[in-house]
Structure 1
Amino acid sequence: MPSFTRPTMRIIAAKAKVSAMTVSLALRDHASIPEATRLRIKTIANELGYRPDPVLRAFHSYRRNSRQVNFQGTLAWVNNFAPDHPLRAVPTFNVYHQGAARRAEQLGYKLEKFWLGAPDMSQERMTDILLARNITGLLLPPQPDAHMELHLDWARFAVVTFGYTLVRPRFHSVCNHHYQSVLMVIQKLRERGCERIGFALSAATNERVHRHWLAGFLVEQQTLPKQKRIDPLMITGGPPRPDVVGKWIRRWRPDAVVSIDPLVAEAAQAAGIRVPEDMAFALCGDSTKEEFYARIDENSNVIGATAVDMLAGMLQRNECGIPAHPIRMMIEGSWVEGPSAPPTRTPVAN
């Protein structure tokens, strides 16, 4: 039986008439190697049947991880929120940053904040500042509005975004599995004996998660007999009003309501509907940390850490620019008990 010799980088280098270091950099798409040279070396490697050795790669990874982590560089947290924007108070966004900063430090990076709304700042100037600092790894947290565009010189940067609010360009991104979060809340409420579960949400907030919260609820509704289905309450024109929420509850008579906004529960109580005595209530995300509310913990610290892991890998592979096929990593949430959804329930008040 003929023996097979695994082609090495030295063999590729000899055939390409370059150094083994040049081969190594070319196979990792390093920007210091001209694109034509990278393509030629990759073609030769493919012709020779070169494949990276996974065992050797794992060994090198082990050696790197067993040593003290050296400083790798600075990553940019490019924020687009004004300091007084109401969404700045949402706990989720701060926990994203905490998780990202902690993971960056573990990998040898420093995570530094930059603000696109700073005085005299433009997107062109932000590009210049980042490049002057030799910062090429960017984390873009959620944007102030649901459908936003940014225009930095993306070819120079590796970018990971959070959520769905940056619609152009589309980058690799990390977020909570919002669809699954709604299904989890509904399942937990059913375990507590709730049969008529309603859904109330700001239409604008639903847009921020690409309508995945509403999608989860509507799909779940299709599994029920028609007499148990409840039309969702989509709130527009500002905070939920007690008259609107109360009218909807009394029409549909839910024994539980799912929302992302604790103001829905406050509006219900202002309308004379007690939570949880008359109606259970649970949040499908981390809009508040108040212990009263049963809710989904979106594991935002894990989302932040995962974004850094993704970005660090891109920097190691020299992957810059707008990806042809964006990857979205979804992190599942965890159920958090709260008095607003107790084990027992009573019918809604008239």
Structure 2
Amino acid sequence: MPKAPTIRSLAEKLKLSVATVSEALRDSPRVSPETRERVQRAAKKSGYVHNPLLGAALSAVRRARHQNYRGTLALVDTAEQGKAELMLFHREIVAGAQERAKELGFTTELFWVGDGPQAVPIGRLSSMLFARGIHGVILLPFNQAQDFSAFDFDRFAAVQMDHCLIKPRLHTVLPDHYVSMMHALERLTGLGYERIGLCMERRKDVRLLNKWSAGFMSFWRSYSQNAGIEPLIVPELTRDVFVEWFRAHSPDLVMAHRQSTVDWMRSIGVRVPEDCGYFILNHTERTGPCAGLDLQPQRMGAAAVESVVGMMLRYERGVPQYPQTITLEASWVEGPTLRTG
């Protein structure tokens, strides 16, 4: 039986050093593109198979010599209207990613795509990251879905958060909006609320493949004879639109992303929580004390890091043939906007 090819046998065949072959197989920018392609083509032809366990063991030895540093992971966000500024929810994701990356021997660096002095075009970003030796990429949950076709994913292990890409389709880490909505409604109806209304801007639902509204409507079809209140899902949620909907349907609890709806209710004489309760769908974005769902942004960041690092150790690069999704159920947060007893 012929011996399985090794890095050393590949190096001898190609008349290259073992170090060069090893770097080429890891897509290192320290090796010229021509040599990388030549080595990888020869490895594929000979049936060479990378052993991730051996690679991890050798990496552990190298880390012991270099203060546990294993590499840098890129966190990518969009600069909207030229502003390179993290939203509050994104700041929590980044905090969780940074902490978990540090535990695994990595650092993180934030990059921006779009317009503005701190941002770069999507196509240029992939070349920039590769030149800096960055092989792991985490796409934050963009406010608007983006087309990343110009990004060369073949060089990277990458995941997206939420369904933030129009294309391509990547492995995804996101809250389980559907199940979280169903469980929240089970608990709210258990507290005695019967006319629960959902209101939000359409983009927030569409970006999540309509999982908020799907969970809301499925609950009333499956768990109650009450058909519930028709959700208010509009391009722009304004006070006038909300007040008209509220007066037409008289909900006893409002679920929303914007806590300004509480001010709108109070402006027409509605007492919260005595007359109508309020439940925020993303507790991180609250502007005052309230009950709601904690979507676990720091856990999301940590899970994304774990996913990308695992892919890097397995030498998995590019757009996956079968994208997988990691979902995290939100947790319930008590607050003064729900009645007690």
With the shorter chain as reference, the TM-score category is 0.7 to 0.9
Could you say what secondary structure the match of 1:167 adopts? strand
Amino acid at match of 1:198: G
| Equivalent position to 1:37, from 25, 40, 43 | 43
Amino acid at match of 1:74: T
Deviation at 1:134, TM superposition (A): 1.3
| Equivalent position to 1:338, from 292, 312, 335 | 335
Q: Which residue of 2 aligns with 1:127?
A: 126
Do the aligned partners of residues 224 and 132 (structure 1) sit closer, same or farther apart at CA in structure 2, a change above 3 Å counting?
closer
Amino acid at match of 1:326: P
Q: Which residue of 2 aligns with 1:295?
A: 292
Q: Identity over the aligned pairs, expressed in percent?
A: 28
Could you say what secondary structure the match of 2:283 adopts? coil
Moved more, 284-293 or 313-322: 284-293
CA distance in structure 2 between the aligned counterparts of 1:211 and 1:155, rounded to whole angstroms: 30
Deviation at 1:166, TM superposition (A): 1.2
Amino acid at match of 1:80: T
CA distance in structure 2 between the aligned counterparts of 1:83 and 1:302, rounded to whole angstroms: 29
Amino acid at match of 2:43: T
Q: Which residue of 2 aligns with 1:167?
A: 166
Structure 1 vs Structure 2 CA RMSD: 3.6
Residue 280 of structure 2 corresponds to residue 283 of structure 1: yes
Do the aligned partners of residues 295 and 312 (structure 1) sit closer, same or farther apart at CA in structure 2, a change above 3 Å counting?
same
Q: Which residue of 2 aligns with 1:3?
A: none
Give me the TM-score of the superposition, normalised by structure 1: 0.78
CA distance in structure 1 between the aligned counterparts of 2:129 and 2:146, rounded to whole angstroms: 24
Deviation at 1:211, TM superposition (A): 0.9
Do the aligned partners of residues 262 and 202 (structure 1) sit closer, same or farther apart at CA in structure 2, a change above 3 Å counting?
same
Give me the TM-score of the superposition, normalised by structure 2: 0.80
Residue 302 of structure 2 corresponds to residue 305 of structure 1: yes
Deviation at 1:337, TM superposition (A): 0.2
Q: Which residue of 2 aligns with 1:235?
A: 234
Residues 134-177 of structure 1: per-residue CA shift (max 9 Å, x gap): 11211111223145445212211221111112121111111111
Do the aligned partners of residues 190 and 226 (structure 1) sit closer, same or farther apart at CA in structure 2, a change above 3 Å counting?
closer
Do the aligned partners of residues 307 and 37 (structure 1) sit closer, same or farther apart at CA in structure 2, a change above 3 Å counting?
same
Q: Aligned pairs, how many?
A: 319
| Equivalent position to 2:247, from 246, 250, 253 | 250
Deviation at 1:226, TM superposition (A): 5.2
Unaligned ranges ≥5, structure 1? 1-6, 46-51, 345-350
Q: Which residue of 1 aligns with 2:15?
A: none
Q: Which residue of 1 aligns with 2:89?
A: 92
Residues 257-312 of structure 1: per-residue CA shift (max 9 Å, x gap): 21222122222222322211101110122352445210111111010001000111
Could you say what secondary structure the match of 1:152 adopts? coil
Residue 196 of structure 2 corresponds to residue 190 of structure 1: no
| Equivalent position to 1:266, from 260, 263, 268 | 263
CA distance in structure 1 between the aligned counterparts of 2:257 and 2:226, rounded to whole angstroms: 25
CA distance in structure 2 between the aligned counterparts of 1:106 and 1:40, rounded to whole angstroms: 37
Q: Which residue of 1 aligns with 2:68?
A: 70
